[in-house]
């Protein structure tokens, strides 16, 4: 069976090595490749033309993939973006596995009732929908105002840097791209420091790097983790849709090893 990840850029993606390691562990006859796609508007046509059984979708095509799918299932309907396509008969069915992947990744912190979510982009939408689904209180803090309306409608408290009033949180999450390719904090240092000091745990969606945000969490002695588990579990959940089997502990560990390879 054939699978791929669509993106632009896609060269850096670790999904093939993660998914192929899982297929191998399971003896599943699957091959997972990368597909560079310029125009997200034709994603379904390319998916069908390439005889794919399933695919993942990454930046910047998740919203186009949502619009083009024949059917969207689960939390993706509210999020408005999908990262997984599955061929069912002749229909392209779409899911968002970033949202449950995030929830799985934060399980290791224990019980979470309130979250301060930094950023208001696509990833923040997935995280906010998943958290609200579990009745967790969500406060969103973003640099600019324009993206906050979606979160207010979802029932989140929403601030820009100018209007922010700190409260107490079980968890603070960086879902901005600050720290990805630069050494920026997700908001001015006084805001981040004060917020971290009022949180029990910190999570950064960025993986493979101790970002300035995580460095500050570490300096303030709060437990933290990076986005590796989120990436792993969005992949594991997609893998379960691809193979129509639940992933065993052994498969998940093989996928983690695959992710860390090279
Ligand atoms: P988007 O481009 O959709 O959103 C980016 C957000 O970050 C916006 O809210 C933007 O604010 C904010 N932002 C960008 N730069 C800065 C800055 N210098 N200071 C403060 N805020 C900033 O991105 P995504 O939601 O797609 O991705 C966000 C991050 O999540 C990325 O780092 C990505 O790598 C990571 N990610 C990790 C995954 C995983 O599996 N671990 C999965 C998906 C994403 P504004 O609205 O003001 O522009």
Give the Å distance between the CA of 108 and the centre of ligand 1.
Answer: 23
Model pLDDT for residues 201-232, shown as the tens digit of each residue: 999 999 989 999 999 999 999 999 999 999 99
Catalytic (active site) residue 62: yes
Q: What is the CATH number of domain 2-96+229-260?
A: 3.40.50.10860
Domain regions of the chain by residue span: 2-96+229-260, 100-226
Is 8 in a helix, a strand, or coil?
Answer: coil
Fold match flag (2-96+229-260 vs 100-226): yes
Give the whole-angstrom CA distance, residue 59 versus residue 234: 14
pLDDT level of residue 144 (50, 70, 90 thresholds): very high
Residue 146 alpha carbon, nearest atom of ligand 1: 46
Q: Between the CA of residue 1 and those of 4, 37, 226, 254, 259, what are the distances in Å?
A: 10, 21, 32, 19, 21
pLDDT band at 255 (very low <50, low <70, confident <90, very high): very high
Q: What is the pTM of this model?
A: 0.96
Question: Is the distance from CB of 157 to CB of 140 less than 8 angstroms?
Answer: yes
pLDDT digits (tens, 9 = 90+) for 83-93: 999 999 999 99
From 34, 44, 62, 132, active-site residue: 62
pLDDT tens digits for range 5-46: 999 999 999 999 999 999 999 999 999 999 999 999 999 999
Instruction: Give the C-alpha separation, 34 to 5, whole Å.
Output: 5
Distance 148 CA to ligand 1 centre (A): 14
CATH assignment of 100-226, given 3.40.50.300, 3.40.50.720, 3.40.640.10, 3.20.20.10? 3.40.50.720
Q: What was the pLDDT predicted at 142?
A: 97
């Amino acid at each position: 069976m054939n699978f791929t990840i669509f993106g632009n850029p896609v060269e850096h993606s670790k999904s093939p090595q993660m998914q192929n390691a899982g297929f191998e562990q399971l003896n599943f006859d699957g091959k997972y490749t990368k597909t560079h796609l310029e125009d997200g508007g034709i994603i379904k046509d390319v998916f069908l033309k390439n005889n794919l059984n399933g695919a993942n979708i990454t930046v910047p095509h998740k919203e186009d993939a949502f619009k083009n799918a024949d059917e969207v299932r689960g939390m993706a309907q509210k999020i408005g973006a999908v990262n997984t396509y599955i061929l069912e008969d002749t229909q392209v069915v779409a899911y968002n596995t970033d949202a449950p992947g995030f929830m799985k990744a934060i399980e290791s912190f224990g019980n979470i009732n309130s979250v301060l979510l930094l950023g208001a982009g696509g990833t923040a939408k997935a995280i906010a929908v998943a958290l609200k689904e579990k009745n967790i209180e969500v406060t969103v803090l973003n640099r600019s105002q324009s993206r906050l309306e979606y979160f207010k409608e979802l029932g989140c408290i929403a601030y820009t840097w100018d209007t922010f009033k700190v409260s107490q949180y079980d968890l603070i999450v960086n879902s901005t791209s600050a720290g990805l390719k630069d050494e920026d904090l997700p908001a001015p240092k006084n805001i981040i420091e004060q917020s971290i000091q009022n949180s029990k745990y910190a999570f950064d969606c960025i993986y493979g790097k101790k970002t300035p945000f995580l460095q500050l969490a570490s300096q303030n002695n709060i437990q933290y983790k990076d986005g590796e588990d989120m990436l792993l579990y969005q992949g594991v959940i997609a893998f379960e849709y691809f193979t129509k089997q639940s992933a065993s502990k052994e498969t998940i560990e093989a996928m983690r090893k695959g992710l860390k390879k090279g």
